[in-house]
Structure 1
Amino acid sequence: MDATNIQTEQAESTDIQQDVLTFLDAQTKRSWGPEADLFAAGGLSSLFAMQLVVFLEKTYGIAIRGKDLRLDNFRTVVNMVALVERLRGDR
């Protein structure tokens, strides 16, 4: 993998991260950090996790099924970015 590909992947990860943070901010009316535990911080429920699933599926054209529906995949924005990239085959 060359430097251009690495830079492109990093830019795409940053874009996904920003998209998810924007969605979270709009839905929860508060700001989140990429590594904040969304569920331990309180206020977010398993129902909200399903909203995140729908958002990620529609936004990135992926299907989140079976073992990928674990709460840990949605606990932080960093985890969600990794999930999206894995399901898209980015990494």
Structure 2
Amino acid sequence: MDAIKQSLSAYLKKFIQKEIAADDEIITSGLVNSLFAMQLILFIEKEFSLKIGNEDLDIKNFNSLNAISRFVGNKKGLTI
């Protein structure tokens, strides 16, 4: 799971000029907009070889590094 968080954190740092803690709410706090949220989803699909379906598009899955890491881990069948 740490590798997932590291990859996500590196990606987010390219676009967000602020240090982000693992539980910081990146979407609901306004750190990113809806267009970036879609770019983030595309990155996750490509980086982790996942298919994210409409049923997965819930803000709770993408609102923080921890949430995204859990989501990716669950999709890949990793133990958390």
Report which of the two structures shows the higher radius of gyration computed on alpha carbons.
Answer: 1
Rounded to whole Å, the distance in 2 between the matches of 1:40 and 1:54 is 19
Q: Which TM-score applies when normalising by structure 1?
A: 0.79
Q: Which TM-score applies when normalising by structure 2?
A: 0.89
Query: Does 1:73 find its partner at 2:57?
Result: no
Rounded to whole Å, the distance in 1 between the matches of 2:9 and 2:53 is 22
Query: Does 1:89 find its partner at 2:65?
Result: no
Q: How does 1:7-26 map to 2 (within 5 A)?
A: 13-26=1-14
Runs of 4+ off more than 3 Å: none
Q: Name stretches of at least 5 consecutive residues in structure 1 with no aligned partner.
A: 1-12
Residue pair 1:39, 1:45 contacting (<8 A) in 2 also: yes
Number of corresponding residues: 79
Residue pair 1:57, 1:63 contacting (<8 A) in 2 also: yes
The C-alpha deviation readout for 1:1-31, integer Å capped at 9, x for no partner, is xxxxxxxxxxxx1111111111111112222
Query: Does 1:37 find its partner at 2:25?
Result: yes
Name the residue aligned to 1:56: 44
Instruction: Tell me which of the two structures has the higher relative contact order, counting C-alpha pairs closer than 8 angstroms and 6 or more residues apart.
Output: 2
* Cα deviation, residue 35, structure 1: 0.5
Identity %: 27
